[in-house]
Structure 1
Amino acid sequence: MQLNNGIDIPQLGFGVWQVPPDETAAAVTTALETGYRSIDTAAGYQNEAGVGAAVKASGLPRDELFITTKLANPDQGYDTALRAFDASLAQLGLEHVDLYLIHWPTPARDLYVDTWRALSKLYADGRVRAIGVSNFLPEHLERLAGLGGVVPAVNQIELHPALQQREIQEANAKLGIATEAWSPLARSTILKDPAIAAIASAHDRTPAQVVIRWHLQQGRIVIPKSVTPSRIRENFAVTGFDLTDDEIATIDGLENDGRTGPNPATFN
């Protein structure tokens, strides 16, 4: 799908949150062999080097890959963010990244505006192809948009059937920001829901495939994560079927404020 600056990002990517550093290269290698071309990591995950090793070993042309990483919270601020980006590039062994995100707004620290100016410089200098944010609330997005410069291309947020963040999705859409779902399967807890199981049975698919399809049909970027090769492949095999409007409505009805991660309003 196309971002607001005209570059394309695969709508289905592979995330490596909580993948141990010593397992990252193998997991990413399996993902690349499966067909994923978008890999999402972060300085805070401490596994950028494993991503870089798998990318290098794959032999795939760099322009066929879309690599995202994120700035760690302690590195917010203009100068520290620029230094941290250099460190991430070194860990990845790359000359540029495709998408660089501020990982959390940490609003009490009030550094995300200066940090955004640093990311805007990286973008202007051609060191990143797109810049964005993660876990930003509508008021944080409006503040960045109000600067009059680059608008974030992506806002990556926790989003799954139990936590649909409709207000943030609407704010993203209003500003032309793509919504990207992290923890898209709610750490697998939502997969036990009987309604999802019934839809999966009707399509002869797994619950995970149904939930990923639900995300894709509603226009979101989605980055499921696994270290199990069979699940990595399963999560990629989500073409060849479509959910009906009624099935999408059923999954939409599973919202229960089921947050699995920190609240961006208070996480500092």
Structure 2
Amino acid sequence: MYWHQVTPGPLVSHSHTLEEIRRFNMAVAMFDYMSQPHSTMSGTIKIGHKDAKTGEMTSQVDIPMFGLGVYLMKGHGECKKAVSHAIEYGYRLIDTAMAYGNESEVGEAVRESEVTRDDIFVVTKLRRPHATSYDEVIRRCQESHDNLGIGAIDLYLVHAPPEDLEVRPQVWKAMEDCLETGLVRSIGVSNYGHHHLQEMKSYARIMPAVNQIEINPWLQRPDLISATKEIGAVPMAYSPLARGHKVNDQDLVEVAKILGCTPAQAAIKWCIDSGSITIPKSSNSDRIEENFHSQELDISSVLEYFQSMNENYISGWDPTVEP
């Protein structure tokens, strides 16, 4: 698929020329979209665990750079339907959590798919209220494993830093042991700030493979992304659309017009190109397909506009700043 672009100038609203360009781009995009098969486009990267002493990377696995988030999808088969459609359309990464209450639906969709299990990467998470002791972590990991019913969990994350600072070492030791026993294929964290990651160096045998945090054009977090990479982890971006709060942002709308795409597609592609595994959430079939095609965009000509959007806007909770 080819996105026909122009070199951007100043962002001017209601420009007749810009409107003509937008209509032309959308027409061409729709023609290409309808005339080409929908196959997997997600590139993959390797994630692994940096040995805290030697720095050696271990237990490496391949993970797609793009996937589907299923937050708040439950009841009446909403989650299963969304995941099934996403997999059929080409998605190969699904992000869930025990807190979402839909692990079983995700597992059903994966098992019933015509895509082989090895080609689908599933992420789930340890609930923060369950991050209280070694034994509780082991028990809850097994529970998520059983809920999904798909064999080893591809990536298991601590959903947020345990509130009790004293239990953090034993919580992570349990995560490491879940990896060693084969219950999971990789482990990581979510919503960890720079100080949380640095603290882990004092007790971890191996460092997290991933730090899943909110990242989007309005919350670009270069320092936290740098800290994540410094420990050998890869950033994973949730809420790439700021929970929908910023989809109508005027700067984003104008950039989307230049690119000939939707505002959501532009924001998602910015996250991917920032080097973050990106997991937009949607249960709407049209949106699932639209988000998938964000991967085809070339946004190199408008990066300066994205740089100006950063305002450290938090759309949801932010445990990264907690003790």
Structure-2-length-normalised TM-score: 0.79
Shift in Å at residue 267 of structure 1? 6.3
Q: Which residue of structure 1 aligns with residue 90 of structure 2?
A: 35
Whether contact under 8 Å (2:172, 2:204) holds in the other structure is no
Number of equivalent positions:
267
Deviates more, 1:8-17 or 1:199-208: 199-208
Runs (5+) with no aligned partner, structure 2: 1-44, 49-57
CA contact (8 A) 2:217 2:271 kept: no
* Correspondence for 1:18 among 72, 87, 103: 72
AA aligned to 2:283 is V
Which of 108, 111, 133 is the aligned partner of 1:53? 108
Q: Judge conservation of contact 1:101–1:132 (CA < 8 Å) in 2.
A: yes
For 1:110 and 1:214, how far apart are their aligned partners in 2?
38
Partner of residue 165, structure 1 = 221
Answer yes or no: is 1:135 the counterpart of 2:179. no
Deviation at 1:211, TM superposition (A): 0.8
1:106 Cα deviation from its structure 2 partner: 3.4
1:98 correspondence with 2:142: no
Task: Give yes or no for contact 1:21–1:50 (8 Å, CA) kept in 2.
Answer: no
Contact 2:68 2:280 in 1 (8 A): yes
1:228 to 276, 284, 291: 284
In structure 2, the CA distance between the partners of 1:252 and 1:107, relative to structure 1 (3 Å rule), is farther
Q: Letter of the aligned partner of 1:262 in structure 2?
A: W
Task: Quote the offset at 1:252 in angstroms.
Answer: 2.3
Q: Is the 8 A contact 1:48 1:88 kept in 2?
A: yes
Query: So what's the TM-score if we normalise by structure 1?
Result: 0.94
> Is structure 2 residue 46 aligned with structure 1 residue 2?
yes
Per-residue Cα deviation, 1:184-234 (whole angstroms, up to 9, x for no partner): 110122221122111211121111111111111111100001011000000
* Residue in structure 2 matched with residue 251 of structure 1 by the alignment: 306
SS at match of 1:239: helix
Q: For residues 58-111 of structure 1, give each alpha carbon's deviation from its aligned partner in whole angstroms, at most 9, with x where no partner exists.
A: 132111010100001121121000000111111111221100000000344542
Q: Aligned partners of 2:194 and 2:245: how far apart in 1?
A: 27
| Residues 16 and 226, structure 1, Cα contact 8 Å, conserved in 2 | yes
Q: Match of 1:70?
A: 125
| In structure 2, C-alpha distance between the alignment counterparts of 1:191 and 1:265, rounded to whole Å | 24
Return the letter of the residue paired with 1:91.
N
Match of 2:265 among 199, 209, 220: 209
Superposition deviation, residue 266 in structure 1: 6.4
8 Å CA contact 2:97, 2:123 repeated in 1: yes
Aligned to 2:12: none
C-alpha separation in 1, matches of 2:194 and 2:113 = 39
Query: Quick one: which amino acid aligns to residue 119 of structure 2?
Result: E
Q: Does 1:190 align with 2:246?
A: yes
- The CA deviation at 1:148 is 4.9
Aligned-residue offset at 1:167: 2.0
Checking the alignment, whether the CA contact within 8 Å between 2:269 and 2:299 is kept in structure 1 is yes
- Contact 2:169–2:204 (8 Å) recurs in 1: no
Matched, 1:123 2:179: yes
The structural deviation recorded for 1:30 is: 1.0
Q: Tell me if structure 2 keeps the 8 A contact 1:21–1:46.
A: no
Task: Look up the equivalent residue of 1:39 and give its one-letter code.
Answer: I
Larger radius of gyration: 2
Alpha-carbon RMSD: 1.6
Residues 5-53 of structure 1 deviation map (CA, whole Å, 9 limit, x = unaligned): 4311000011001112431101111111111011000001111011011
The list of structure 1 runs, each at least 4 consecutive aligned residues, that deviate by more than 4 angstroms after superposition, is 265-268
Taking the aligned partners of 2:202 and 2:97, their CA distance within structure 1 comes to 27
**Secondary structure in 2 aligned to 1:9?**
strand
